[in-house]
A and B are shown apart, each in its own frame.
Chain A
């Protein structure tokens, strides 16, 4: 499978615990985006990377959230001290160059449930 992959697909945690999600992009895609989707809503932008540089963070990304893309390939999104309001689907999307310059390819998402 050469698409965007995310791990884990589902995560159940207790309030106050830390969680980390991973996104593996399509090979050579230099832009990587994180979105969050809650029930009945469209995805909301969280942050994005150009290679290893984090270029923009949404106001939705509180200081409990941190994202990294250390080598410009895979990315991680960590949520510290989770709250029930963090329950959502976390989506990763990547974008390459050339003819598909403007298309973002989405992964399957990680569904987080905070109890």
Chain B
């Protein structure tokens, strides 16, 4: 069965530190990849997505992610985090031919200290 694994359950950083959140998936076919963010008290919002083409994708709020097909990875990065980035981050995968349902990782809670 397809699965998504996020390496870190909880990450604590100071402001201005660099961020990298790991995401690996287990499916060999064509996939679309997503990172969603959930700020405290808010609903899930799309940060960025990869369909095809340039494996380095840029999203909102200075986030970017790199798709490495050979490693089945889609890691999220930000060079300098802010306190307002405190949130839960979810990686998700969609099989190209399976109706559009998303398979999510278990999430990574990011706490940024001011």
B102 partner residues in chain A, CB cutoff 8 A: 33, 35, 43, 45, 93, 104
Tally of contact residues, A, Cβ under 8 A? 23
In the bound complex, do residue A42 and residue B99 qualify as a contact, i.e. CB atoms below 8 Å apart? no
Q: Which of A41, A44, A91 contacts B44 (CB 8 A)?
A: A91
In the bound complex, do residue A102 and residue B32 qualify as a contact, i.e. CB atoms below 8 Å apart? yes
How distant is the Cα of A43 from the Cα of B104 in the complex, in angstroms?
6
Which residues A41-55 have CB closer than 8 A to chain B? 41-45, 48, 55
In the bound complex, do residue B49 and residue A42 qualify as a contact, i.e. CB atoms below 8 Å apart? no
Summarize A's interface: helix, strand, loop or mixed: strand
Q: Which of A31, A40, A56, A107 contacts B43 (CB 8 A)?
A: A107
B57 beta carbon closer than 8 Å to chain A: no
Q: Which residue of B lies closest to A58 (CB)?
A: B101
Residues of A with Cβ closer than 8 Å to B? 31, 33, 35, 40-45, 48, 55-56, 91, 93, 95, 102-109
